[in-house]
Amino acid sequence: MASTTRVPPLPLHHRHHLLLHLPLLVTAAVLALGGAEAGKVPAIYVFGDSTADVGNNNYLQGSNAKANFPHNGIDFPFSRPTGRFSNGYNGIDFLAIHMGFRRSPPSFLSLTNKTNHQIFKGLKGVNFASGGSGILDSTGSTVTMTKQIQYFSTIRSSIMTQIATETTYHLLSRSIFLISSGGNDIFAYFTKNNSPNTTEKDQFVATLVSQYENHLKALYTLGARKVGIVDVPPIGCCPYPRSLNPTGGCLDILNELSLGLNKAVRSLMLHLSSTLEGMKYSVGSSYEVVSGIIRNPEALGFKEIKTACCGAGKFNGQSGCTPNATYCSERHRFLFWDLLHPTHATSKLAGSAIYYGSQQFASPINFRQLVEDEN
């Protein structure tokens, strides 16, 4: 039987730091929403899973990993279900807003027949992320990370036909490459082995990190120099895993695997940045942000941290947010939108903390420092 994860209380000085700064960061996010300033980087290229997908899966025949129907998008402009697994924006949207864009760049598969505007030509960025995918190509049945990178390669070739090769490399070297992946790999592993020993956990994480390294080197070869990684949150505390636990608590093993992967990815990025000339990076910690909300929900404006806003069954975590599902009215006070994904409000807080925050939330530098680095 899965044990209940007891999130240890934050040390007082850290707790004060989190409570003091996160509300200020939310204010900064609100202010950022007001301006339609030019992008602070030439383009944003996004890779990953449903935490980053803005509609690629809408175009996949036969896939059920979709969110292009109500009640998804109820708080998006014009209450439009775009394919985001959210009631509004996802974390990538908020990071893009902080970088001076309207929201995430458009999904790659929505652009295949549009050629007139520079955004459609990839010059302002493209989002390749696909819900259900993972670091391993064996995870899920949607657009694999390898395929996402191949799609980027086609965009890069398209850019090179529009502007000189040297100019393309300069544009890509100043652009931001965002990656948010790993949770689905952990879920897939858990379904096969729900009580791995330490050796098995270490072997699994090593396999993931080895493949992550291959993906990052492929992007580097294609011109990526500024990489922003969003780590895996405490997925054992999502409503779906809680619904599997007789105690209703978080599933320890999922959080342990998330922490193990996150630690290994930080070591990998440190290694790559010291061996690949010109590579700069930041690892943003959605794990820290979500853990902080779970520890001190009221102080951060949240009321419900266990039950999803939209869904059905125990914790609303036993089925997805479908048009027939019930949904909450105080969506801004819920940590989770559906059985696995955060609300617009949670993503807003995470985006601010990762972009502007201390090393608790992004390291070795935050995303703002990555964006502003001119060296």
Task: Write out pLDDT tens, residues 293-306.
Answer: 999 999 999 999 99
Question: pLDDT at residue 11 above 90?
Answer: no
Question: pLDDT at residue 314 above 90?
Answer: yes
Share the mean pLDDT of the chain: 90
Strand-pairing partners, residue 4, are: 251
Which residue of the set 50, 175, 181, 258 is catalytic?
A: 50
Question: pLDDT at residue 30 above 70?
Answer: no
Instruction: Specify whether 341 is catalytic.
Output: yes
Task: List the single range of 15-19, 281-285, 334-338 with lowest mean pLDDT.
Answer: 15-19
Question: pLDDT at residue 34 above 60?
Answer: no
Question: CA-CA distance, 299 to 320, in Å (whole number)?
Answer: 29
Task: List the single range of 100-109, 111-120, 124-133, 205-214 with lowest mean pLDDT.
Answer: 111-120
Q: Is-contact 183 238, C-beta < 8 A?
A: no
Which residue of the set 49, 93, 231, 338 is catalytic?
A: 338
Q: Is-contact 183 233, C-beta < 8 A?
A: yes
Instruction: Specify whether 352 is catalytic.
Output: no
Global pTM reads: 0.89
Which residue of the set 21, 332, 341, 344 is catalytic?
A: 341
Task: List the single range of 42-46, 163-167, 240-244, 316-320 with lowest mean pLDDT.
Answer: 163-167
The pLDDT, as a whole number, for residue 122 is 80
Nearest residue to 206 via CA among 258, 253, 261: 261
The pLDDT, as a whole number, for residue 121 is 64
> Tens digits of per-residue pLDDT, 151-191?
999 999 989 988 889 999 999 999 999 999 999 999 999 99
Question: pLDDT at residue 281 above 60?
Answer: yes
| Tokens at 207, concatenated | 């396999």
Instruction: Specify whether 50 is catalytic.
Output: yes
